[in-house]
Amino acid sequence: MVSKIAGIALRAFQFLFGVVVLGLSISLIKNSPLVDGPNSKHAYAAFVGAITTVTAIMGVLSLWFPAVGGIISMVFDGFIILVNLVGGLIIAITIGNIKCSSHRNSRSTFVNFSKLVSNSLIGCSLTSSDACTAWDRKSDDDVIHMLVGRCQMNQADAAFQFLTVLVLLGSLVVTWMRMKNNK
């Protein structure tokens, strides 16, 4: 009984984290400053959020249908761990050492702002002056606010993917314990 309650709680967190990743990714896609369309890394993150959400529902159902649970559930969890880990790493590595703040008081802040503008997930990569629609008719403060917001959303997207990995590792342990006790 305890393992079923723990399984439901872990699946609830998995569902919640999947919805957050999906929502953040869709928001980043919808508000992309790029003329050519959103970054494919955000599309992958949206896929990760959607598949994480679907498998959370499947995980809850597997608690009541033992034929679907066990090894099959563990295989799905392993796959979702992998896609979340890859998605989180892609975003974290792409963002790099950028600080998501809007303080403008030093040379290092100027360097950080340049990184915000040129990052492919946050700004426009500045491949050409026509590549970005974000700067049209906006004040400097609005542009900074937009860039910092996109930076924070990307950080949250990666963080929730990593949290999902931790939750699913816990779910693997609970599933393994249930299988061990049922034999």
**Average pLDDT in the 62-88 region?**
88
pLDDT confidence tier of residue 32, bands split at 50, 70 and 90: confident
pTM of the model: 0.85
How far apart, in whole angstroms, are the C-alpha atoms of residue 58 and residue 77? Answer: 10
pLDDT category of residue 12 using cuts at 50, 70 and 90: very high
Q: What is the pLDDT of residues 149-168, one digit of tens each?
A: 888 999 999 999 999 999 99
Confidence of residue 172 (pLDDT cuts 50, 70, 90): very high
Q: What is the number of other CB atoms lying within 10 angstroms of the CB of residue 19?
A: 16
pLDDT in tens, 85-119: 999 999 999 888 888 876 665 555 666 677 777 77
User: What does the pLDDT average to over 62-89?
Assistant: 89
5 by Cβ neighbours in 10 Å (0-12 / 13-18 / 19+) ranks as: exposed
